[in-house]
């Protein structure tokens, strides 16, 4: 099966940089995805890493190390609106559906 571990909570102040880590165990690795979910809202896609290295999209970056079964989401120049839950996810063994971690709640204060 698949399992993912990520911290349950992270706090930071506006303008800061925060890193949300994710370690995973899976057979047949296809890539690591990140989703953002504001309270009660629909999860939205942030990034996807299939290969090792850093992918940058604006203020958000995502990193993957397949040899370490580890990835992280880096959020820079934090804003209040970044307060949300962030989920890492891997594709299931059948290669058909995403399995999500329990999520990290990010609280940004002024």
Partner 1 sequence: DSGVTQTPKHLITATGQRVTLRCSPRSGDLSVYWYQQSLDQGLQFLIQYYNGEERAKGNILERFSAQQFPDLHSELNLSSLELGDSALYFCASSPRQGDGYTFGSGTRLTVV
Residues that bind partner 1 (CB under 8 A): 30-31, 33, 35, 40-45, 48, 87, 91-92, 94-103
* Smallest separation (angstroms) from partner 1 to the CB of 63: 19
* Smallest separation (angstroms) from partner 1 to the CB of 90: 9
> What residues form DSSP beta bridges with 63?
54, 72
Strand stretches in the chain, DSSP E: 3-5, 9-13, 18-25, 32-37, 44-49, 53-57, 60-65, 70-75, 84-91, 98-100, 104-109
Residue 48 or 76 with smaller CB distance to partner 1: 48
Residue 61 or 85 with smaller CB distance to partner 1: 85
* Smallest separation (angstroms) from partner 1 to the CB of 76: 24
> What residues form DSSP beta bridges with 33?
48, 89
Residue 14 or 44 with smaller CB distance to partner 1: 44
């Amino acid at each position: 099966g698949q399992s993912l571990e990520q911290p349950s909570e992270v706090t930071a102040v506006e303008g800061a940089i925060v890193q949300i880590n994710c370690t995973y165990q899976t057979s047949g690795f296809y890539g690591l995805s990140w989703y953002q979910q504001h309270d009660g809202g629909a999860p939205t896609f942030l990034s996807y890493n299939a290969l090792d290295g850093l992918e940058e999209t604006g203020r958000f970056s995502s990193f993957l190390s397949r040899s370490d079964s580890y990835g992280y989401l880096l959020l820079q120049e934090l804003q209040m609106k970044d307060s949300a839950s962030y989920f890492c996810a891997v594709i299931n063994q059948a290669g058909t559906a995403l399995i999500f971690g329990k999520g990290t709640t990010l609280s940004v204060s002024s």
